[in-house]
Amino acid sequence: MSGKRGNGEGSIYPYKNGYAAYVWVDTPDGRRMRKYVYGKTREEVHEKWIKLRTEARKGPVATRHRTLDAFLSYWLESIVRPNLAPLTYVSYEGSVRLYIAPHLGTKRLDKLTVRDVREWLTKLATICQCCAQGKDARRSEARRRCCAAGECCESYPSRRVIQAARDALRAALTHAVTEEEIGKNVASLVKVPKPRRRRIKPWSVAEAGRFLADGLTREDPLFAAWVLVLCLGLRRGEVLGLTWKSVDFDSGELYVDHQIQRAGKQILHRETKTEESDDFLPLPELCLRALRMRRAQQDGDRKAAGELWQDAHGLVFTTKYGTPIEPGNLTRMFALRARRAGLRMIPLRNTRHTCSSLLVALKVHPKVAQRILRHSQIAMTMEVYAEASEEEVRAALRQLSEAMGGAG
């Protein structure tokens, strides 16, 4: 085919071993520039030129495209870190550093395809992360036992890890679409199998009563924390983030508005995730007495620590020196206490259903229970009340209450 330009194709011309074309475009930063396309045949370049001209008519077009690695670095530091929660940044940064950048980082952002993402996720599920991250190699020679010693331990990423990596890439590409660096989010078009969540039967009220009775007998400094978790359904971070300013003994209310979080190398005392998470919760008498006991215990710890006391936020639950409790340690201590009480193991986060049954046994009014459980409909609360009304449970909790120095 000759190099003569066709009618209306004034910007297509012979170039090296093929053809080139350009279109005048407006860039995202407001400048007017030429953007070029290349190909081996006139037909190929003409199709690209038509597509580019259509994009230019719709709005700004980037003239230079970054690699995915460069864009992800910009996204993490300029978008995620200043605008999202610290824990979200830590999660996204880990996914980018360990799973996305090593495999897709060199790809040009605008050239990333659905097939690239699908093949990456398929491959990721078969890569031993002990080998890829050099975990075994970082151990001393005497402690190396698998990958560094030539025996792969087959430490493959779980479904949850793979889903988190895909979600991080999808979030980044969503922002790239918003900034008009790419036309579509290819990661959102790739589906990944949802991780199966193992269902665990929560404790019955009788089991929860045994757990609390054991903690009371041993004068557990975290007894009040367990009471709040089981009776009010508070999350781990919310319990650890409670301050004495949030407890109103006169009105019998608790204001939940802060939490303790581990974000990388930092322990943060920060606001709860959303405004909907903040609420005034009525405190049953069992909770009030447990908190009074906790205050007396903390006063003793403060006197014993003397100048070493470091509580800067007025936290309800602290170490013996007043410092915040590591969230992971609370989970481990819950498991230890359950084992010590001779109970079957359940995760700390699995206590919410038990909480609803305990409210029944404590004779909390359904409307009050609805507020504590944060149910949108009273019908949901009444279903729980219909399930748990065992008299022996009430008797067990009455004994526990009397042991704490109050009426049932």
Q: Along the chain (408 residues), what's the average pLDDT of each consecutive run of 10 residues?
A: 46 84 80 84 89 84 79 93 89 94 92 94 92 88 86 89 95 90 89 79 82 90 92 86 90 84 76 59 85 93 91 87 90 93 88 72 70 68 58 54 52
Rg of the chain, C-alpha, whole Å: 30
Q: Which pairing describes strands 18-26 and 253-256: parallel, antiparallel, or unpaired?
A: unpaired
The answer to whether the beta carbons of residues 224 and 291 sit under 8 Å apart is: yes
CB atoms within 10 A of CB 173: 24
Specify the pLDDT at position 329: 92
pLDDT recorded at residue 142? 84
| CA distance linking residue 95 with residue 164, whole number of Å | 7
Task: State the Cα–Cα distance between residues 4 and 146, nearest whole angstrom.
Answer: 65
Give which of 162, 170, 151 is closest to 192, Cα–Cα: 162
Backbone angles phi, psi at 261, to 5 degrees: -135, 145
With beta carbons less than 8 A apart as the criterion, state whether 258 and 272 touch: yes
State how far the Cα of 368 lies from the Cα of 363, in Å rounded to an integer. 10
Phi, psi of 182 (to 5 degrees): -135, 160
The token pair that represents 388 in the structure block: 């748990």
CA distance 174 to 190: 14
Query: Is residue 362 within 8 Å of residue 286, measured between CB atoms?
Result: yes
d(CA 13, CA 279): 68
* pTM tops 0.75, yes or no: no
Identify the three-state secondary structure at position 316: coil
User: Among residues 220, 156, 218, 161, which one has the least CA distance to residue 192?
Assistant: 161
Question: What CA–CA distance (Å, rounded) separates 79 from 92?
Answer: 12
Alpha-carbon gap, residue 55 to 397, rounded angstroms: 69
pLDDT at 23 (0 to 100): 87
Question: What tokens does 145 get?
Answer: 């036992």
DSSP code of 363?
A: T
Give pLDDT, residue 350: 79
Instruction: Delineate the domains of the chain, giving CATH numbers in brackets.
Output: 12-58 (no CATH), 68-189 (1.10.150.130), 205-403 (1.10.443.10)
Helix 285-305 / helix 391-403 crossing angle, nearest 10 deg: 30
pLDDT score, position 96: 95
